[in-house]
Amino acid sequence: MLTVHHLRQSQSERIVWLCEELELDYTLRCYERDPVTRLAPPEYKGLHPMGTAPVITDDALTLGESGAIVDYLCARHGAGRLVVGADDPAYADFLYWSHFANGALQPVMGRNMILARLALAADNAIVRSTRARLDLALGHLDERLAVVPLLAGDGLTTADIMTVFSLTTMRMFYPVDLAPFPHIGAYLQRIGARNAYRRAMAKSDPGMTPLLA
């Protein structure tokens, strides 16, 4: 039996969304963050040696890390859906944007969040360079979305599922104005219109309005 262990307002929303897109039979177990620290509760940290979200259990298997879980579920349960094959012209784009999500975009969002909490001066060299790196990443993404509706082309793939968290829920932890990136905004509206995404967000974080603009 497949169980998705979802920490509220976390990257594990990706896995709920993936399961909804694939129409998998799964159990969703949700965990609340500590109201003061905003960290995962002890029972969530005990699921996996790293103690971070997401985590799934599939019969005797326990697996962490978004990318690993996404690849596992698509390979074991996806029947070829939401991925691009090596013989497809869009394969390289699919690979690139799949890895861009947690290799470039999410880390620089996290670094900016930490620096913001340190309340350093706005003209601090590290603050300036780290924010410039985020603007570069968002600009790069915006340029891509100016020419394609979804990251690998016309159809939704796991590249999109890996990316959207950083553009939406992550901004609850570190606010970012996306107005300078209109193609990202239009992209998020397309994502928000998907029934599977809406179901996933309603199940994983009821009462939270996704930041789709």
List the CATH number of the domain containing 130. 1.20.1050.10
Query: Which pLDDT value is given to residue 34?
Result: 87
- Tell me whether residue 209 is in a domain: no
Q: How far apart are CA 101 and CA 65, in angstroms?
A: 13
Region 173-183: mean pLDDT is: 96
Domain co-membership, 76 together with 141: no
Region 193-206: mean pLDDT is: 97
CB proximity list for 71: less than 8 A, separation 6 or greater: 158
* Helix-strand-coil split of the chain, %, nearest 5: 50, 10, 40
**Which of the four pLDDT bands, split at 50, 70 and 90, describes residue 81?**
very high
Decide: 56 and 62 in contact? Cβ < 8 Å: yes
Domain co-membership, 35 together with 117: no
Q: What is the mean pLDDT of the chain?
A: 96
Establish how many alpha carbons lie within 13 A of residue 211's alpha carbon, considering only the half-sphere containing its beta carbon. 17
Region 176-187: mean pLDDT is: 97
- Tell me whether residue 210 is in a domain: no
For residue 51, what are the domain limits? 2-82+198-204
**Which of the four pLDDT bands, split at 50, 70 and 90, describes residue 122?**
confident
**Which of the four pLDDT bands, split at 50, 70 and 90, describes residue 145?**
very high
Domain co-membership, 133 together with 59: no
For 3-18, the pLDDT digits (tens) are 999 999 999 999 999 9
For 44-77, the pLDDT digits (tens) are 999 999 999 999 999 999 999 999 999 999 999 9
Domain co-membership, 185 together with 157: yes
Q: Could you give the percent of the chain with pLDDT greater than 90?
A: 93
Whether residue 38 is predicted with pLDDT greater than 90 in this model: the reply is: no
- pTM of the complete model: 0.94
Domain co-membership, 68 together with 131: no
Query: Which pLDDT value is given to residue 94?
Result: 98
**Which of the four pLDDT bands, split at 50, 70 and 90, describes residue 36?**
confident
- Tell me whether residue 176 is in a domain: yes
What are 155's two structure tokens? 């159809």
- Tell me whether residue 60 is in a domain: yes
- Domain with 13 in it: what CATH number? 3.40.30.10
Domain co-membership, 68 together with 7: yes
- Tell me whether residue 213 is in a domain: no
Q: Could you give the percent of the chain with pLDDT greater than 70?
A: 100
Region 93-115: mean pLDDT is: 96
